[in-house]
Each structure stands twice: as structure tokens, then as C-alpha cells.
Amino acid sequence: MRELTVNEIAQLEERGCWAEDWSDILVDEGFSPSRMKDVLLYGHVEIGNLNGSVEVEEGFRRPCCIRNATLRNVVIGDDCLIENVRGYISNEQIGDRCYVANVGVITNQEDSTFGCGTEISVLNEGGSGNIVLFEGLTAQLAWMMVNFEGVRKLGRSSSEAKGCGSMGAGARIVGAKEISNVKIGEGCEVQGSSRISNCTIMSTDDAGTLIGTDVILENSIVAAGASVTDGAKVAGCFVGESVHIGKGFSAEGSIFFANSYMDNGESCAAFCGPFATSHHKSTLLIGGAFSFYNAGSGTNQSNHAYKMGPIHWGTLDRGSKTASGSHILWPAHVGSFSMVMGKVQSHPQVQKLPFSYVIAEGRDTWLVPGINIRTVGTWRDINKWPKRDARPLDSRNDLINFAFPNPYIIQSVLEGKSVLENLQKTHSEDTEIYEYGGCKIKQLALVKGIQYYDMIIKLFLHHCFQTNTAETAEADGSRWVDMMGMLAPKSELDSVVRDIENGTIGTAEELKGVLQQIHQNYKPYEQAYANFVMQQCGGNMFIDRDHWMHEAEEAYARWLKMVKDDAEKEYQMGDVEDEQLRDFLETIK
């Protein structure tokens, strides 16, 4: 970089340019005054090579230049086009090939943290902060922050860096009204946003991020590949990889991870794990943990008992759904792949009974255990999620295990089967209604539930036989956890927590590396658990393999028939075309 010549200064002044101090302006060696017009310069400004062109939209390139702008303490990279800045750009580093047009104010304070270090409370809205926002946050680190104070300390130490506001190479900022204290990543597009304040917006060439029209984004971090569009209002949130928030959705104090999709509704203190979805107006996610979840229209929850404040919270385990108009009074915990219908007021604790229908009827809550395993919806869900992962293969930070069935689910199935069998044993044979976990269960539903759970156990063994990589693994009945997408034995997680407490793991990046290794070792862990399941069922992987293989194959065939029958039942309703039914049935193998 060099200072301007006397002749260049004269040319710039003739073109309507002015500087507070021309000696504080540095330019590229090949600088041409013809590339600047009507520009006011304050403080220290560096200007790169402006001799190239910028693609302002596909197939339309324009020459690089700076015109109609006020710049203060700005560093501009090569090949940029900056025009029509109605206010000013201050304390900003602009990367190469950026396009900035028709904006209001872009400014930064020297002590800004760009949203990093912001602490929010998820689940317990009225509690002290349990999530620390920083660039490297993942679904798994967030899950651990909620459960272990030590991980929050790692998050705080990872969010201490401060610096100048910046705009990564290839960023496009068009029509934005106000951007203050924001770091913007490579290739990011900001189109017509109303206000972005104290935020980090990550973006890469292969995972570009979009902030769209009329968006208000404050005190938040947005991961690469995400989009916040169409008047969404987001405050104190983490918006994860390939997450979409749009159509006026309002989010406060919430976190969203890989491939979640939020339109129209609102969230508060929500922990939305991978593939959490809400499309409808009048839908509120509040004080809950959700993953692989679909919210029906008008779905909401209540975290406020009007006594001690908004402190109650609940969990809908992986794969759960809520029907239109569903309302749940927290606290509650519903098992994996369950469906919740009606206004549930009994605070059900039925995590041990997955694949259930939870149905409110007046003040009573009825539970139909296991029935959701037989539905077309469950089949479609477990097959669609891997196909809908929009993240680039080489940059997936959230650890997602799509295995179905898996040990986390099966441990609940084993416990649920035992719960139902014990209810049978402890009640007379003529009992018509049983009670468990705040719910009522009819006798026939209980009997069928035991049968469904027995089938699901064998489906798990069938899955392990088909993908067996460690037949010699010793049986291991460790409890399992679902860390918002990542599945792991609790014994491994306990070891990680000890390493954090004794300082062996000292940074968030080290913790992510350890979790990645556990995630990659899933297969042998799964096989060891399968051997344990066989022992629990009275079998032996080595002696009885052929017998169990036959049992598992029969269970798998029975499951496929149930799903096909459910599809045929939907076809009989008259809205499914013949070809659509045939195409679907061909996928069930």
C-alpha cells in the first residue's frame, strides 16, 4: 500500500471526494482515481485494487468502484464495489470481492464481542444462563452445557476474543438499514435486513449464509449455511448449520441446530436439536427440548404455573410429533417417536414408553404404547432425515447419528416392556384401565404395547445383524444418552466429564475432538449393547445366532407388513393416487 500522489488527490477532489487528512489514506499500487466518486474519507482508510469487476447477480458484472459513500477507519480489499451508502461505514475491514450497495449504517465499536459470550437460559426460562454463545457451539456442546457447569466454562473461554468488525471475501450487503458490531463471513448475503446488531454471521464458499428482507437479528450467532429471512426476529439465539428461520418467525433465547426449519411461529427458551420443524402460525415452542421433531399447527406449551415463574420445562424425545392444537403443560417427558394430541394437563413422565400416542381427553391423558412403530409416518421420518441433511459433507459440526433402531431407543423399549409387564402382574386379570406416569392405559393397549416392544427389540437385533462389525464385542449394558443427535454410552460421557473436571480437556475444541471420536466408534458400542440385549432376552450371540437371526427376520417382515397395511389404509381414504401408493410400497424393503 502507498500514499496518494498530489495529482491523484487533485483528481479525487475534482470527482467530489474529500478526506479529513489525505496523508492517512493508503491505496493499492495500481490505484486509479477514476474508480472513486463522491466519497468522504475520515480517519485511516486503506483501499485495495479496484481495477476488476464484481458479479452483482448471476450473469451481470459491474466494474469495481467506490461512489456515494462515507468511510471512516475502513480497510477495503481488492476488487470491491461499494456504492450508495446513505449513512456511513465505520471501523470495518472489508474483504476482497465484496459488494456493498444501498445500505444505511455499518459500524463497529472497538470492544465489541459480536455476540460471542452472550449467555442465555434455555429450558428453564427463569433460570440463570446455561448456554454460552460462541462460534464453535454445537448441539452436543449445548447439551453438555445444560447438564454440566464445567462445559459452560469452556464456552466462556472460547468467546473472549474481541476485534474489529469484518466482512469476509465475497460478501454481498445490499439494502441493509443498520449493521452494528457484526462479523460477516465469506460469501454471506445480507439482503434488505432492517437491523443486525452484536452478531457473528459465519459463512463459507460452500455453505453460504443468507440474512434476508426486514430481518431483525440481535445478540446472536448464525452458523454457515443458515438462512434468516422474510421478517424474522431473532434475539439471543444460536442459529446452527443449514437452519432456516423465516416468514416472520420470532425467536428469543433459543438455540437451533442442524437442518431445523422454523417459519411463522415463535420460540422462547427452546432447545431445538437437529431437524426440529415448525411451519405454522400460532405455534409456540417454549421451555422444551425437541429433536427430529414436527410441530403441528397451533402447537404450544406452557412453562408458567403462575406460582414460581416460568421455570418449568420438558422434553419430547427424538422423533416426536405434536398434532394440530396440541398443548402441553410442562413439566413433562415424552418418549421417542411419540405423538401428542390435545391439551395435556397431567404432566406425563412416559419417556420409558416410546412410539406411543399420548392423547388428552378432558383432564385425563390416555396413552397407547408402541403403536406408532406401525405407521407410515414413522417409516417416512426415519428414511427422510439422512436425505435432507443439507450441510456440506466436509463441514458438519453437529454430530448426528441416524441409526434406527438404536441403543438409546431400545433401552427405553426394554424398560417400557418391563413397566407394562409389571402393571399386568400387579393388577388383577379383569383390570380394564392401568395408570402410569400421569397417564391411563387401556388393557388391550397394554397387551399390544408389550407385543410391539417385543417386535422393536428384535428389529434392533435385525439391524445389528445386518450391519455387524464386531461380533466378538463383549456384552455391555451401559445406559445410553441422546445428546441432541449424537448417541453414546453414558459411561463414555462420564469419562469425558471427569476429564473436563480434572483439566485433561481444557478447551471446547478439545472436547469436540473427543466427542467426535466417540461418535465415530458408535458401531462397536452398538454391537456390545446388542449382545447385552440378547442376554437380557435369554440368548447368546454366538450359540444362538441362527435362532435369533430367524426371530429378527420374522419381526422385520412383520414390521414391513404393518407399514404397508397402514399405507393401504391411507390409500382407501381416496386422496392417494395409485402410482403414488405403488412408488411408496416399492421403497418398503
pLDDT at 456: 96
β-sheet bridge partners, residue 268: 252, 286
Q: How far apart are CA 46 and CA 99, in angstroms?
A: 17
The pairing of strands 357-361 and 364-368 is antiparallel
3-state secondary structure 120-134: ECCCCCCCCCCEECC
63 with 53: CB under 8 angstroms?
yes
132 with 149: CB under 8 angstroms?
no
CB-count exposure of residue 234 (10 Å: 0-12, 13-18, 19+): buried
- The DSSP secondary-structure symbol of 232 reads -
DSSP string, 485-551: TEEEEHHHHHHHHHHHHTTSS-SHHHHHHHHHHHHHTHHHHHHHHHHHHHHHTT--TTTSHHHHHHH
β-sheet bridge partners, residue 62: 54
58: its cell numbers: 448471476
Give Cβ neighbours of residue 153 (< 8 Å, ≥ 6 apart): none
pLDDT at 471: 55
Query: Is 1-107 CATH 2.60.40?
Result: no
pTM: 0.94
pLDDT at 464: 86
How many residues comprise the chain? 589
pLDDT at 468: 64
Name residue, grid cell 426486514: 214
Q: How far apart are CA 436 and CA 418, in angstroms?
A: 12
Show the DSSP H helices in 133-180 as ranges.
Answer: 139-147, 149-157
Query: pLDDT 10s per residue in the chain (589 long)?
Result: 899 999 999 999 999 999 999 999 999 999 999 999 999 999 999 999 999 999 988 899 999 999 999 999 999 999 999 999 999 999 999 999 999 999 999 999 988 899 999 999 999 998 889 999 999 999 999 999 999 988 999 988 887 656 677 999 999 999 999 999 999 999 999 999 999 999 999 999 899 999 999 999 999 999 999 999 999 999 999 999 999 999 999 999 999 999 999 999 999 999 999 999 999 999 999 999 999 999 999 999 999 876 777 889 999 999 999 999 999 999 999 999 999 999 999 999 999 999 999 999 999 999 999 999 999 999 999 999 999 999 998 889 999 999 999 999 999 999 999 999 999 999 998 999 999 999 999 999 999 999 999 999 999 988 888 776 545 568 788 999 999 999 999 999 999 999 999 999 999 999 999 999 999 999 999 999 998 998 888 766 556 677 778 888 999 999 999 999 999 998 888 888 888 888 888 888 8
pLDDT at 389: 95
48 with 64: CB under 8 angstroms?
no
pLDDT at 160: 67
End-to-end CA distance of the chain: 65
Secondary structure element (H or E) that encloses residue 76, with its range: strand 65-76
338 with 349: CB under 8 angstroms?
no
207 with 224: CB under 8 angstroms?
yes
Give Cβ neighbours of residue 439 (< 8 Å, ≥ 6 apart): 346, 348, 350, 358, 365, 366, 367
